[in-house]
Structure 1
Amino acid sequence: MKHSLIHIPYLPGCPIHFMINDYNSEEFQQHLGLEIIWLLQGKLKVMVGQNDYYLHENDLLLINHFESHQVVPQVLDAHFIQLHIDSLFIYKYNHDFYSLLYDLKSFKNSEDNQNPYDVIRILFSQLITRKYKHNTEIHSDVLRLLGYLTSRFSKRLSLTEPENPVSNKDSNIVQQMLNRVEQDFKGKLTLNEIALEQHYNPSYLSDQFRKNVGVTFKAYLEEIRIRYSLFLLQHQEASISNIALASGFSDEKSDKKQIFVNSLTIT
């Protein structure tokens, strides 16, 4: 089944995208950011790590940042929407994001205790149906949703203070790196280039990025490029080679192969 993006496709600077009935029963996936699944009709099995969750009509489930998961419909007429919120956007407004664990499973509560989840459904619906004219309007509504999610459904990964807490200086450095990726991922961007410009040791920047974001700089950069290539594959008539180049990948066969393999997840 081929999914379709609605209203807001993924583009640099846009914090969200939607997918309808998007699943691949053959492999697990990971995403940079938060993903909320809303089942509108039918039955759905979602495997998250070692846990299996069975969703029924109107159920909500949140997938955490970089959490391995697999979506498998249990009936032919299953209809569901996935909302993905980019980690880069979340981190800009909440530097604690990578130390938080979100727990949103509406099916764990009775029908009489759905009020907090109804708020999520309302905010979710507004993002789908509202006709946005400016990015600032999108950002405002997404921040409302994130604010409620964080206040109502999140907790810190550790109740104790870390031995080596991240300083404001380190946090600002990582934010600059994230901004640079967003602006220049289409070019031949490297960690060494950023280190030279910022007058830092590449190893130091690499350690700080991994500590704050949870993945390596290279993995994050490749994920952004892959997601942008998927957008181009859906919306432009171009060869895999040209899409790879437009997304910031070199013309090496290994990079082309990676783009092609990842593009299979949208068919």
Structure 2
Amino acid sequence: MTKLIKWFVTVVLTIIAFNVNAADSDILLGPGDVLRISVFEQPDLSLEVRVSESGTITYPLIGEVKVGGETPAAAERKIASMLESGGFLKNPHVNIIVAQLQSQQVSVLGQINRPGRYPIEGLRTLADVLATAGGLAPDAGDFITLIRTQDGSTSRQVIDLPKMLRAGDLSENVNIAAGDIIYVEKYPKFYIYGEVQRASQYRLEQNMTVLQALSIGGGLSPRGTERDVKIKRRNVKGVIEVLSAKHDDIVQPDDVIYVRESLF
């Protein structure tokens, strides 16, 4: 991914992240969430409480309340109804603030500016989460792996982010769910040495040809020849093979390109 494309990707991710429908902002409460609950004009009923593993809290006067799987607004209505039906208050106004959101989180790993675990508040897409995590790091590659476990089954999806954004096809900008793992791959490399101007390792772009790789290496030295370029490549068995390279051959990750010296 070139610097220009990386800048474009970061800008687009940021724009997408801010275009979230306010109607989708409600979250579902779950184990580990910390709630600050208050009742209008009833300071004795204000408290901070953590949702238990069973999805319940214990609240003054009414005891155990099941809030797991509820939105904060629904939990407010449930507590208010229990206070009123129990004869404790008339028409109580309950307010819940989520102080810590622990139950609905996604892990963002790999080549990202701020890797870590982030809360999923309402509907969030892949681009939203990447932007929240600070966008792609300088050594990020093109591909993002999404690992998801549902009903005891784990799936893996690989997404070509620059391709998705260049084409304007956001079908792979999938909605992210709690427990998902997003891994940003590191860019692949190739190596070039021998009779070239700048022998080194370089970032491998998609569908790069041998001729393009030679150009990135500054071209041939005065003693180099294009007639005998070799590629050292590890096969599926882990064995290094030496291949004769043509100009339009596609370079693969970790290829080592060797330019021989001209004999004439």
Superposition TM-score tier, normalisation by shorter sequence: under 0.3
Q: Which has the larger radius of gyration?
A: 2
Q: Which protein has the bigger helix share?
A: 1
Q: What TM-score, normalized to structure 1? A: 0.19
